[in-house]
Structure 1
Amino acid sequence: MLPAAATRVTPEEYLAFDRASEISHEFVNGEIRAMTVGTLAHGVILTQVASTLVGQLRGRPCDVVSQAIRVRIPVSGNYLIPDVVVACGGTRLEDDQHDTMLNPTVVVEVLSPSTANYDRGEKANMYRRIPSLKDYLLVSQTEPFVQHYRRFGDEGLCLLRETEGLDASVELESIGCVVQMAEIYERVFPAESTEAYSTEETS
């Protein structure tokens, strides 16, 4: 049973609960938050982002994981589960359970209408606390649009650029990858259409 929202738990209690659960949860300021099921477009986009990065990073000391590993936030002790996370140069794990990463290099979140403000605000502020994190991408699922935050020295993560359109690309200098928008949005926004997946029923 998920603890009541008003009940504060320790990180240790959260980890024990989440590891025994059939669904994933994040841990923010003492609260356990269940992960919601995404849309088809959400799943396709995160899979295509991960697939593109895996292809470009093959043969290099990098791990690409999608919705399958926690990231621990320093100081606060919060735990988040990114849509896609990349660690290069040797992945550091929190304990012998091998399910919590300490040193992400790139994090990608696919925005949903219900979580967009959270991903841009509170969640972005948590990710900023991770010294190893160099790039943070927010990917829209309603239009071909990506917001790219990059770490600039002691300034933390700052908005570098906003990219839109299927002909554009997103450059991740920290891991030496260039991701084409057409690859991110293949089938979600076909080149000949500006429409997202239809919600109409077919007979």
Structure 2
Amino acid sequence: MSSQPKTFLTPQEYLEIERKAEYKSEYYAGEMFAMSGGTANHSFIGCNIIALLTAKLRGSSCRAANSDLRVSVTPHGPFYYPDAMILCGEIKFADNRQDVVTNPVVIFEVLSPSTATYDLGEKFMQYQRIDSLREYVVVHQDSILVQRFERREDGQWLAAFHNGLEGMVTLSSVPCALPMAEIYEGIQ
């Protein structure tokens, strides 16, 4: 019995398929991975983050983007849909379609139980390859915990942990502080 060979997709083939698809898929190592629907808490936290970022960044050269916009780690992928990101200055797109950005400054991921290991492991390792990225913020949906990773001048990443609703997540790369109580507002 022979096993079915995996279909390897080029980044261009992935984008061609993805741009016509009715559902979102991420791309890593030549493969597409369909994204499953999230929980209510995942959605509420993501919306809270976008609302906070939009309000706090108003009037600056930075802006927030939601999970409708893809980020490309390199021209050859991987391609991901972060739950939120901050882009500053001139936004750089992978091509003229303007649906793939290459220069996020801060990326936010809301952890799902099924993807937590990947988001904190391999995906974070891939995100570190983005030269413009200064901070990676991981928000837990099943507990009041935010992990903020900051790229230092020497290229190393420094971790900070925030828990409790009275805390504040202060970003160092953009003038923005997010109250934990507002990130988790309305969460059961």
Give the TM-score taking structure 1 as reference length.
Answer: 0.88
AA aligned opposite 1:99:
D
SS in 1 for 2:154: helix
Q: What's the offset of the Cα at 1:76?
A: 5.0
Residue aligning to 2:170: 171
**Alpha-carbon distance change, 41 to 91 in structure 1, aligned in 2, over 3 angstroms:** same
Question: Does the residue aligned with 1:147 lie in a helix, a strand or coil?
Answer: strand
Letter in 2 for 1:114: S
| Cα root mean square deviation, aligned | 1.4
CA distance, structure 1, for counterparts of residue 163 and residue 33 of structure 2: 31
Gaps of 5+ in 2: none
1:48 counterpart letter in structure 2: N
Deviation at 1:6, TM superposition (A): 2.1
The answer to whether the 8 A contact 2:87-2:104 is kept is yes
Give, in whole Å, the separation in 2 of the partners of 1:5 and 1:79.
Answer: 23
Stretch deviating more after TM superposition (84-93 or 14-23): 84-93
Change (3 A) 1:162 1:5: farther
CA distance in 1, matches of 2:99, 2:90: 15
Structure 2 counterpart of 1:169, one-letter code: M
Opposite residue 47 of structure 2, the aligned amino acid is T
The match for 1:63 is: 63
Whether 1:90 aligns to 2:90 is: yes
| Structure 2 counterpart SS, 1:52 | helix
Matched, 1:103 2:103: yes
- Separation in structure 1 between the aligned mates of residue 117 and residue 76 of structure 2, nearest angstrom: 21
Is the partner of 1:136 in helix, strand or coil?
strand
- Per-residue deviation, 1:154: 3.3
Counterpart in 1 of 2:43? Answer: 43
**Alpha-carbon separation, structure 2, partners of 1:5 and 1:182:** 49
Distance 1:17 1:5, change over 3 A: farther
Identity of aligned residues (%): 39
Alignment check: 8 A CA contact 1:29 1:78 kept: yes
1:139-184 CA-to-partner distances (Å, cap 9, x unmatched) read 000111001100012324x242110000001010211100000000
- Taking structure 2 as the reference length, the TM-score comes to 0.94
Contact preservation (8 Å) 2:11, 2:76 = no
Shift of 1:65: 1.0
Aligned counterpart, 2:183? 184
Instruction: Return the alpha-carbon distance in structure 2 between the equivalents of residues 36 and 111 of structure 1.
Output: 13
**SS state of the match for residue 60, structure 1?**
coil
Partner of 1:200: none
SS at match of 1:150: strand
Q: CA deviation at 1:90?
A: 1.7
Q: Which amino acid aligns with 2:120?
A: R
Give 1:161's aligned amino acid. Answer: A
Q: Distance in 1 between matches of 2:170 and 2:97?
A: 33
